[in-house]
Structure 1
Amino acid sequence: MNWYREISPTEKRTLWGCFAGWALDAIDAQLFSLVIPTLIATWGIAKGQAGLIGAVTLVGGALGGLLAGVLSDRVGRVRALQITVIWFSLFTFLCAFAQNYEQLLVLKALQGLGFGGEWTAGSVLLAETMRARHRGKAMGIVQSAWGFGWGAAVLLYTVVFSYVSPEWAWRVLFAIGVIPAGLVLYLRRGIVEPPREARAAGGPTLGPAQQAGTLSILAGIFHPSVLRQTVVGGLIGLGAHGGYHAVTTWLPTYLKTERHLSVLGTGGYLSVVIVSFIIGCFLSAWLQDRIGRRWNVIFFALASAITVNLYALLPISDTAMLFLSFPLGLFSAGIPATMGALFNELYPQGVRGTGVGFCYNFGRIVSAVFPFLVGHMGNSMPLGTALGIDAGIAYGLVVVAALFLPRPQTQVAPTATPQRV
Structure 2
Amino acid sequence: MSTTPTPSRAERLGALPYTRRHTRLLVGSGTGWALDAMDVGLISFVIVVLADQWDLTTGERSWIVTVGFIGMAIGATVGGWLADRFGRRAVFATTLLVYGLATGASALVGGLAAFLVLRLVVGLGLGAELPVASTLVSELSPTRIRGRLVVALESFWALGWILAAVIGFYVVPRGDDGWRWGLALGLVPAVYALVVRFGLPESAAWLERRGRHEEAERVVRGFEESAGVDPPPTSTKGVPAAVAEPVPQAAPGLWSRGLRRRTLGIWLVWFGVNFSYYGAFLWIPSLLVARGHDVTTSFGYTLVITLAQLPGYALAAVLVEAWGRRSTLALFLLGSAVAAWFFGQSDSAASIIVAGSALSFCNLGAWGALYAITPEIYPTAVRGSGAGAAAGFGRLASIAAPLVVPVLLERGGGDVLVFTIFTAAFVVAAAAAFLLPETRGRALDT
Q: Report TM bin, short chain.
A: 0.7 to 0.9
CA 1:394–1:326 in 2, change beyond 3 Å: closer, same or farther? same
1:345 to 367, 376, 379: 376
Matched, 1:280 2:312: yes
Q: SS state of the match for residue 166, structure 1?
A: coil
Equivalent residue letter for 1:291 = W
Residue aligning to 1:365 = 396
Q: Residues 232-381 of structure 1: matches in 2 within 5 Å?
A: 232-248=265-281, 265-313=297-345, 317-366=348-397, 368-369=399-400
2:29 match: 18
Alignment match, 2:165? 154
CA deviation after TM superposition for structure 1 residue 225, in Å: 2.3
Q: CA shift at 1:389, angstroms?
A: 3.8
Task: Tell me how far 1:181 sits from its aligned partner.
Answer: 2.0
Aligned to 2:221: none
Structure 2, unpaired ranges of 5+? 1-15, 210-245
RMSD: 3.2
Say if 1:158 and 1:235 are closer, same or farther in 2 by CA, change over 3 A.
closer
- Measured in 2, the distance between the counterparts of 1:166 and 1:249 equals 22
- 1:25 and 1:115 in contact (8 A); partners too: yes
Distance across 1 between alignment mates of 2:342 and 2:169: 33
Could you tell me which of 44, 47, 56 is aligned with 2:67? 56
Task: Please tell me the residue identity of whatever aligns with 1:172.
Answer: W
- Aligned-pair distance for 1:233? 0.7
In the superposition, relative to structure 1, how do residues 136 and 103 fare at CA in structure 2: closer, same or farther (>3 Å)? same
Aligned pair partner of 1:179 in 169, 174, 188: 188
Give the superposition deviation at 1:152. 1.9
For residues 309 and 29 of structure 1, do their structure 2 counterparts lie closer, same or farther at Cα, with a shift above 3 Å needed?
A: closer
TM-superposed CA distance for 1:98, in Å, is 2.1
| Aligned partner letter, 2:348 | S
Counterpart in 1 of 2:140?
A: 129
Secondary structure of 1:178's match?
helix
Q: Does 1:196 align with 2:214?
A: no
1:145 match? 156
The structural deviation recorded for 1:251 is 6.5
The farther-off stretch of 24-33 and 367-376 is: 367-376
Write out aligned runs for 1:94-113 (5 A).
94-113=105-124
Aligned length: 394
Bigger CA drift: 351-360 or 176-185?
176-185
Deviation at 1:368, TM superposition (A): 4.7
Q: 8 Å contact 1:284–1:338 — kept in the other structure?
A: yes
Q: Letter of the aligned partner of 1:16 in structure 2? A: V
Which letter maps to 2:377? L
Indicate if the aligned counterparts of 1:199 and 1:348 stay in contact, CA closer than 8 A. no
**TM-score, normalization by structure 2:** 0.78
User: SS of the residue aligned with 2:109?
Assistant: coil
Residue range with higher mean Cα deviation, 353-362 or 146-155:
146-155
Does the alignment pair 1:393 with 2:404?
no
TM-score, structure 1 normalization: 0.83
Q: Displacement, 1:131?
A: 1.5
> Structure 1 residues 305, 44: CA separation in 2 closer, same or farther (over 3 Å shift)?
closer
d(CA) in 1 for partners of 2:417, 2:357? 22
Q: 1:65: which partner in 2?
A: 76
Return the offset for 1:255. Answer: 6.9
- Which amino acid in 1 is paired with 2:318? W
SS of the residue aligned with 1:177? helix
CA distance in 1, matches of 2:354, 2:379: 43
Q: Match for 1:29 among 40, 59, 65?
A: 40
Percent identical pairs in the alignment equals 28
* CA shift in 2, pair 1:32/1:342, >3 Å: same
Structure 1 residue ranges without an equivalent (≥5)? 212-219, 415-421
1:91 is matched with: 102
Contact 1:246 1:390 in 2 (8 A): no
Q: Does the 8 A contact of 1:206 with 1:350 survive in 2? A: no
Cα deviation for residue 353 of structure 1 reads 0.4
Distance apart, 1:246 and its partner CA: 3.9
Secondary structure of the equivalent of 2:392?
helix
Aligned-partner Cα distance in 2 for 1:153–1:254: 18
Please tell me whether the aligned partners of residues 22 and 119 of structure 1 are also in contact (alpha carbons under 8 angstroms).
Answer: yes
| Larger Rg, first or second structure (1 or 2) | 2
Aligned-residue offset at 1:160? 4.4
Spell out, residue by residue over 1:124-171, the C-alpha distance to the aligned partner (whole angstroms, 9 max, x if none).
Answer: 111111112212222222222222112223333555458x7423x333
Distance 1:294 1:206, change over 3 A: farther
- CA distance in 2 between partners of 1:17 and 1:172 (Å): 25
In the alignment, is the contact (CA less than 8 A) between 2:88 and 2:133 conserved in 1? yes
